[in-house]
Structure 1
Amino acid sequence: MAPDLLIGIDAGTSVIKAVAFDLGGRQIAVASTPNRVLHGPDGAAEQDLDGTWDDTAATLRALAGQVPQLAARTLALAATAQGDGTWLIDADGRPVGPAMLWLDGRSAPQVQALRASPAGAAIAARTGTALNPSMQSGHLLWLQAHQPQRLARATTAMHCKDWLHFKATGQRATCRAEGVFTFGDHRSGSYDPEVLELLGLAAWRHLLPPMQDGIGPASPLSAAAAAQTGLRAGTPVVLPVMDVPATLLGGGGVAFDARGLRRVGCSILGSTGMHGWVAEGLEAIRPSAEAGYTMMMPLPDVRARLMSHMAATLNIDWLIGLLGEAAMLAGAASPSKAALLARLNDLVLETAPAQALYHPYIADNGERGPFVDPCARAQLSGFSTRLGLPGLARAVFEGITLAARDCYAALGPMPEEIRLSGGAARSPALRQLLASVTGVPVRVSHREECGAAAAAMCAAIALGVHHDVREALPTWVDACLDERLTRPDAQQTALYDQLFPVYRALAERSRAPWQDLARLRSAQRTAATSPHPNHDQG
C-alpha cells in the first residue's frame, strides 16, 4: 500500500490533537487528549515532559483507531506545539525537572529589570522581539538565580515541539522561528552571541540546539517511538514551526497575488489572541522594545510580525462561568456551555454598542501586548445601574476586539483584510465586532485545525509532495477560506473610532493602580502564609 496520509500534531497547553490529512490537505480524522497544567506559587505554570509525550503517543494510537491501516498509510509525521517555555533535558535525554510553560510568570522580575536597562532595547533590535516573561530567556534567568543546579544538569534547552520531535527521533533541534526570536538576529536568521551576552546567558550557549527552517530535513521515527505510537519505525518525522506561525500559515495569513505577498492580517483568537502579518525583506519589520514578536517563516526572506494579548476567549469563559454560578445560586440547572455561547452571541448582536468599556486583561500573568505588564488586570468602566447582562456581554466581546485593534495599531497601518482562525472564527458576534472595531473586512478560515494542518503541510513539502509553501497554499489553505467577507458596520466603526482612544488612555492611566493592587495581593499572600504568633505564650 502506497502511503497516502500525513499526520499533523498540535500539542497545545490544554489539549493535544493528532490529525490525519490526505496529500491534498483534506482532513480525514482527528483525535485529542487533554493536557495538564500544574500551577504553583509565584505564577508557576508547569507540565510534565514524560506525561506530555505519553499523551501524544496515546493520541496517535487513538487516531489509529479511527483510520484503518494508519501506520502503513502514513507518509510523514510533524508536530507543532505551544510556543515559548523551557523544556530541559540531560545528556541521556531525560527531563531535568518539569517544563516551564509560556504561562509561567516567575521570571517577571528578571525580565522587568532587563527591559528597564539599555540591554532591553538592544535585544529587541537584534531579535526583532521585545522581552516578556513567557520567553525561554527569562526562564533561564530565573533558573540561573533560583535553581542553578537544574541548569547545571541540563544539556539541551528545548520547547514543547522540540521535545516531541526528540522523543520521536532522538534528534535535538528547534525551529528557526523560535530560536531566532529568543536568542538570535532576525536579519541573519541565526543565533547571536551578542544577544546571549546582553541577556547574561552566555554561559549557557551550549544548551541551545541546532535550528531547522520548518520544512525539513526529515528524520526517521525510532523503534521505541514506533512501539509507543503504533506507527511504523522509520516513518519520516519533520520538525515544523511552532504553533503561532503554523496557525498563521494554516489560517490564511500568507497570501500571494501577481505582485507577490499581499498585506493581509491574521488574527488567531483562542484562549489568547495573536495578531499580525507577514512581510518579505527587512524594510517592513520595525521591532519595538515595548512588545511584539518577529518570527522567521518557512519561506525565503519572509518574517511574521506579531503582537499577542494574553487573554481572548478566556474572557468569555470567565463570563460563562459567572452565568453558571448564578444559575446554581438560583437553584436552577446550569445550561451547557454550547447553549450559553449561542445565546450570548445572539445577545451581543442584538444589543446596543458601547454601553460600557471592558479591558480584557483577565489572565493571572497580566498582559504582553501591545504592552508588557504582569500586573495588568481586567476592568469594567463607565457603567451604571442600567447596564444589564446583554450590555455586559457586549462590553466583554468588544473588549476582546478592541485589544485586537490595539495590537494591530502597534504594528503599523491596518491590513487590507483580516483572516480569522481559532475558536472565535465560529462566533458570529466576534467576527462582526472584529470587522467593525478595526474597520477591516474579516474572512474566516473553515479549517478546523490550522496548526496541525500547517505542520502536515510542512511535512508534505519536506517529502517533496509540494515544491514549496507557495505551491501548497491553494489546496491546503486557500480552499478552506470562506468566499464571503464579514464587512464592518460603518456607523459602528465610526463609534469605535471614538471609543478606541478612550480604551487606550484608560489602560495607560491604570498602570500605576495595577502596581499598587499587585503589592496588596502580594502582602495578603505573605500574611496568609506567615505563621501566626502564639498569643498564649509568655
Structure 2
Amino acid sequence: MAERDILIGIDAGTSVIKAVAFDLSGRQIDDASVLNHYRTAPDGSAWQSLDRTWEDCAAALRRLVEKIPGLPSRVAALAVTGQGDGTWLVGKDDRPVADAWLWLDARAAPTVRRIAGGPADRARFEATGTGLNTCQMGSQMAHMDAHFPELLDGAEVALHCKDWLYLNLTGVRATDPSEASFTFGNFRTRAYDDTVIEALGLSHRRALLPEIVDGWQQTHPLGAAAAAATGLPEGTPVTLGYVDMVMTALGAGVHTGDAGAACSTVGSTGVHMKSVRDTGVHLNDARTGYVICLPVPGMVTQVQTNMAATLNVDWALRLAADLMSQTGHEHEYSDLVGRIDGWMAQSRPGAMLYHPYISEAGERGPFVNADARAGFIGLSSHHRFADMMRGVIEGLGLAARDCYAAMGAEPSELRLTGGAAKSAALRQVLAAANKAPVRVSSRGEAGAAGCAMMAAVAIGVYPDMDSCIAEWVTPLLGAPEAPDPALIDIYDGIFPAYTEAREALVPVWDKLARQRAESAEAEDVNTSMTIDAAERAGGA
C-alpha cells in the first residue's frame, strides 16, 4: 500500500478555486485551478451559484488527481478554506435556497447604518471585535429578514463559501470558530453570543446557525458522493479551515512568534493583520476592523481590510490600455503590468494623494462607508500618467498605514503576500509608508497552505500549530528589505493630509451618492415610460 504522504488544500477564492498538493513537510508539489464565476448588478448585488461553485471545486480536485501520479492512494487528508463573509443559504435536502450573496454585495448598506446607529451595537462590537459592514452574513441576514424574508424562511442553515464546500465534501453542516465568532459570537470564547445575535435582530433566526467545528482538532470523512465527484477515496479525513484571510496570513507568516510582526495581503483587496493574544486586542472607537481567531489557542488576528487594493492598479492600467488602443494598436491592461516599476522610477514621491476607494461597495477599513469613492488630490498640469500611477501605488501604502494605525501600534516588520508583492517598487512604498522592513514569503499558495497546515495538525503529523509553522512557514520568509529613510520622511509628511482629506470628503461622498440614486431613479422612470409607450403602440 502506498504511503499517504500528500495533503491537499482547497482555496475557493472569489475569482479562482485552487486545489494544491503539499508533502507532509510543506513542500508544494502541484496545483490545479478552475475559474470562479459571479455576477453583479447596478443595485449593488453580487451573487454566485452554489451548485456551480461545488462543481468547480470538484473539477479542480479531479484535475489535481490527473496531474499527480497515484494521488488517490497517497492523499492523507484534505482541507478547505474560501472567500469570507457573504451568505450561502441551504434548505431541505442540502439544496441551495438561492444564489449566494457574496462579500462584494452592498445591498445591506441601509441595514448596516440602522444597526450600527443603534444602542446595542457597542456591545456587539465588544464581543466580536468586528465592525459591522455590508460584507458580513450578520448584516446581510438582517437585511434579508427585513426585505426578503422568504429567503430565510426557506433555509435550514446559513453557511459561508467554505462551509458549503465542506457540506458537499462530508455531508456535515458546520462553520468554523473564525467566521462564527466575528459574525455572531465572541472571539474570547470562540462560540455564539446571544448579545450579538440580539443586536443584529436575529434571535428568531438563531436556528439557522450551524454547529462550530474546529478543524485543527476535528475532521470528518469524505463522503461517497464527493469521492465519486472528485476521484479521491471515500473516508479521507477532511478539515474545515478558517476563513481565507487568516489562512493566507498564517501561511505567509502572520504568526511566527516574532513580536510586532504583521502581515499584509496585497491582492484585489488589501488585508492587514497582526497576531495578538485574545487578551491584548485593541478595540478602536470607530468600531471598525475584524478580530479573527487563529488555529492556535488564545491567539487571534486583528484585521483591517481595504475593499480594494490592486483593483485600483487594474483600473489605472485599463485606463492606459484603453487610451493606447485608441491609436489603432490594441493593448490589454495585463500587458502593462511590467511597466509599473518603470513608471515609478520616472515620477516624484509624494506629489499627490490618491484615496484607493475604487470599489462600488465603498470602503470597510479603517472606516466603513459604502459611499466612499476614489480620487486624486493635488493634480496639476505638469503631472503625467507616471505620476498618477505612483499616486495610486502610494495610496495603497498610505491605506495600509491607515489600517495599522487603527489597530493601535505600528508593525515592527511587515510580511507581504499576494501578487502585487512581486513589485519591488510597491514593496519599497509599503516599507516606507509603514516605517518597517518588509519580508516576502516564497510560499506560492499561502491560503491553501494555511488550511493544509490545519489538516497536518489534525491528523497528527505535528503535535501543534507552532511546530507546523516552524517547518512550513518560517524558513520560507525572505530577507528583510529595509525602508528608504528619505521616503519615510515624505510619507510621514503627507499621511496627516491623507487622513484629514478622507474625513473631510464624507459629506461630498454623501451628496454624490444621493445624486447617483436620484439619477438611477429618474432613469428607471424614463425606462418604464418608454416600455409602456412601446406596449401601447404594440397594442394599437
What amino acid maps onto 1:502 in structure 2? A
Match of 1:414 in 2: 410
Secondary structure at the aligned position of 1:31 is classed as strand
Match of 1:439 in 2: 435
Match of 1:272 in 2: 269
For residues 92-124 of structure 1, what are the alpha-carbon distances to aligned partners after superposition, in whole Å with 9 as ceiling and x for unaligned? 100010100000000000011111122222211
Picking from 292, 295, 301, the partner of 2:292 is 295
Offset at residue 372 of structure 1 (A): 0.2
Do structure 1's residue 308 and structure 2's residue 305 form an aligned pair? yes
**Mapping of residues 89-488 of structure 1, within 5 Å:** 89-256=90-257, 262-286=259-283, 288-334=285-331, 337=334, 339-482=335-478, 484-488=479-483
For residues 379-434 of structure 1, what are the alpha-carbon distances to aligned partners after superposition, in whole Å with 9 as ceiling and x for unaligned? 01111111111111100000011100000011111121010011121111111100
What amino acid maps onto 1:11 in structure 2? A
Picking from 470, 485, 499, the partner of 1:504 is 499
Secondary structure at the aligned position of 1:43 is classed as coil
Give me the whole-angstrom Cα distance separating, in 1, the residues matched to 2:214 and 2:220: 14
Does the 8 Å contact 2:366/2:406 carry over to 1?
yes
For residues 497-524 of structure 1, what are the alpha-carbon distances to aligned partners after superposition, in whole Å with 9 as ceiling and x for unaligned? 0100000011011000101101111111
For residues 317-349 of structure 1, what are the alpha-carbon distances to aligned partners after superposition, in whole Å with 9 as ceiling and x for unaligned? 111111110111111131561x41111122213
Give me the whole-angstrom Cα distance separating, in 2, the residues matched to 1:509 and 1:439: 26
Secondary structure at the aligned position of 1:182 is classed as helix
Secondary structure at the aligned position of 1:358 is classed as strand
Give me the whole-angstrom Cα distance separating, in 2, the residues matched to 1:346 and 1:191: 51
Does the 8 Å contact 1:124/1:289 carry over to 2?
no
Give me the whole-angstrom Cα distance separating, in 2, the residues matched to 1:121 and 1:53: 37
Give me the whole-angstrom Cα distance separating, in 2, the residues matched to 1:392 and 1:146: 42
Give me the whole-angstrom Cα distance separating, in 1, the residues matched to 2:504 and 2:287: 17
For residues 445-476 of structure 1, what are the alpha-carbon distances to aligned partners after superposition, in whole Å with 9 as ceiling and x for unaligned? 11111000011111010000011110001221
For residues 11-59 of structure 1, what are the alpha-carbon distances to aligned partners after superposition, in whole Å with 9 as ceiling and x for unaligned? 0011111100000000010111110111124210010000000000001
Moved more, 117-126 or 372-381: 117-126
- Unaligned 5+ segments in structure 2 are none
Secondary structure at the aligned position of 2:265 is classed as strand
Do structure 1's residue 523 and structure 2's residue 523 form an aligned pair? no
Match of 1:40 in 2: 41
For residues 187-209 of structure 1, what are the alpha-carbon distances to aligned partners after superposition, in whole Å with 9 as ceiling and x for unaligned? 22211111111111000111111
Offset at residue 535 of structure 1 (A): 9.4
What amino acid maps onto 1:526 in structure 2? E
Secondary structure at the aligned position of 2:519 is classed as helix
Does the 8 Å contact 1:128/1:288 carry over to 2?
no
What amino acid maps onto 2:410 in structure 1? M
Q: Work out the number of aligned pairs and report it.
A: 531
- Label 1:134 to 1:65 Cα distance change in 2 as closer, same or farther (>3 A): same
What amino acid maps onto 2:291 in structure 1? T
Match of 1:58 in 2: 59
Does the 8 Å contact 1:125/1:289 carry over to 2?
no
Does the 8 Å contact 1:120/1:130 carry over to 2?
no
Q: Normalising by structure 2, what TM-score?
A: 0.96
Secondary structure at the aligned position of 1:290 is classed as coil
For residues 130-167 of structure 1, what are the alpha-carbon distances to aligned partners after superposition, in whole Å with 9 as ceiling and x for unaligned? 11110001110111122211111111100000000000
Does the 8 Å contact 2:123/2:195 carry over to 1?
no
Does the 8 Å contact 2:48/2:99 carry over to 1?
yes
**Mapping of residues 2-17 of structure 1, within 5 Å:** 2-17=3-18
Offset at residue 286 of structure 1 (A): 2.6
Match of 1:492 in 2: 487
Offset at residue 212 of structure 1 (A): 2.0
Q: Using the aligned pairs only, state the percent identity.
A: 45
Secondary structure at the aligned position of 1:414 is classed as coil
Give me the whole-angstrom Cα distance separating, in 2, the residues matched to 1:262 and 1:47: 40
Secondary structure at the aligned position of 2:67 is classed as coil
- Label 1:300 to 1:33 Cα distance change in 2 as closer, same or farther (>3 A): same
Give me the whole-angstrom Cα distance separating, in 2, the residues matched to 1:24 and 1:157: 35
Give me the whole-angstrom Cα distance separating, in 2, the residues matched to 1:472 and 1:285: 28
Does the 8 Å contact 2:261/2:415 carry over to 1?
yes
Offset at residue 351 of structure 1 (A): 2.2
What amino acid maps onto 2:177 in structure 1? R
Does the 8 Å contact 2:78/2:452 carry over to 1?
yes
Offset at residue 301 of structure 1 (A): 0.7
Give me the whole-angstrom Cα distance separating, in 2, the residues matched to 1:294 and 1:74: 33
Offset at residue 288 of structure 1 (A): 4.5
Give me the whole-angstrom Cα distance separating, in 2, the residues matched to 1:66 and 1:127: 42
What amino acid maps onto 1:426 in structure 2? K
Give me the whole-angstrom Cα distance separating, in 1, the residues matched to 2:441 and 2:346: 25
Secondary structure at the aligned position of 1:92 is classed as helix
Offset at residue 218 of structure 1 (A): 1.0
- Label 1:253 to 1:535 Cα distance change in 2 as closer, same or farther (>3 A): closer
Does the 8 Å contact 1:358/1:399 carry over to 2?
yes
- Label 1:288 to 1:303 Cα distance change in 2 as closer, same or farther (>3 A): farther
Give me the whole-angstrom Cα distance separating, in 2, the residues matched to 1:5 and 1:289: 45
Match of 2:19 in 1: 18
Q: Normalising by structure 1, what TM-score?
A: 0.96
Offset at residue 357 of structure 1 (A): 0.9
Give me the whole-angstrom Cα distance separating, in 1, the residues matched to 2:382 and 2:197: 55
Q: Please tell me the root mean square deviation across aligned C-alpha atoms, in Å.
A: 1.5
Does the 8 Å contact 2:282/2:407 carry over to 1?
no
